[in-house]
Amino acid sequence: MVEVKGLRKSFAGGSGEIEILKGIDLSVSEGERVAVVGTSGAGKTTLMHILGGLDYPTEGQVRIEGSDILALRGSALDDFRNRTVGFVFQFHQLLPEFTALENVMMPALIARKARKEAAAAARKLLDDVGLSHRLTHKPGQLSGGEQQRVAIARSLVQAPRLLLADEPTGNLDSSTSEEIFQLIDRLHKKHGLTMLVVTHNEPLARRLDRMVRMEDGLLKD
């Protein structure tokens, strides 16, 4: 599902270039759940952004389902981000002026699906994550755990095959973190997802199929 070779990423710094990724090699099989752990600043989020088509590396290769995603531009890149990958961010990234239902519908509406079809898919997913009673609530009316559940439902509304989750429990207490982890695990089984999860929570990470550690811009099994 995911094949990464020689991935490097540098940024311009005050005293010259700062290398964040220093030659990442990573292979993830279809249906596999892989956790990426490591300290802050190790490059985990940069790696996720590149895999999700949100950023480009300085050099290297990224293939997802055999396709070179680094060659995608314009509408082809938009389509990849909208249909192939679901992204769950640490800070939810929900639109505060829209309801839970509208937030989940948004990727489908961007893909120009009929509003009725988008709403039906969103309602089903919100039911799957236990929020069928919160459809008309806006993010400010939801708890942190509920907001993350909405974000997870939104990430799946286009039926992606790859789920990228960047610290999905990073801002939650231990009890809510466990609930979100169990939810992601159930959705993985139900939807047959391939998952790459960045987390500081090593006990949760060890419950996935494989854990890799990022240190100083490199991955170690």
- Tens place of pLDDT per residue across the chain (221 aa): 899 999 999 988 777 788 899 999 999 999 999 999 987 777 888 999 999 888 899 999 999 988 899 988 888 888 888 888 888 877 778 999 999 999 999 999 988 899 999 999 999 999 988 899 999 999 999 998 899 889 989 999 988 889 998 887 776 677 878 888 888 888 888 888 899 999 888 888 888 999 999 988 888 87
Domain assignment present for residue 204? The answer is yes
CATH code of 201's domain: 3.40.50.300
Domain assignment present for residue 22? The answer is no
Instruction: Tell me the residue range of the domain where 176 lies.
Output: 31-56+75-215
Question: Which residues are CB-neighbours of 172 under 8 A, at least 6 positions away?
Answer: 144, 145, 148, 180
Domain assignment present for residue 3? The answer is no
Domain assignment present for residue 61? The answer is no
Domain assignment present for residue 70? The answer is no
Domain assignment present for residue 24? The answer is no
pTM of the full structure = 0.86
Question: Which residues are CB-neighbours of 132 under 8 A, at least 6 positions away?
Answer: 123, 126
Domain assignment present for residue 6? The answer is no
CA–CA distances in Å: residue 37 to residues 90, 132, 148: 14, 33, 20
Cα–Cα distance between 161 and 163 in angstroms, integer? 7
Cα–Cα distance between 36 and 5 in angstroms, integer? 16
Domain assignment present for residue 9? The answer is no
| DSSP assigned state of 55 | S
If one counts the domains in the chain, the total is: 1
Cα–Cα distance between 119 and 105 in angstroms, integer? 6
What is the Cα 205 distance to its own chain's centre? 15
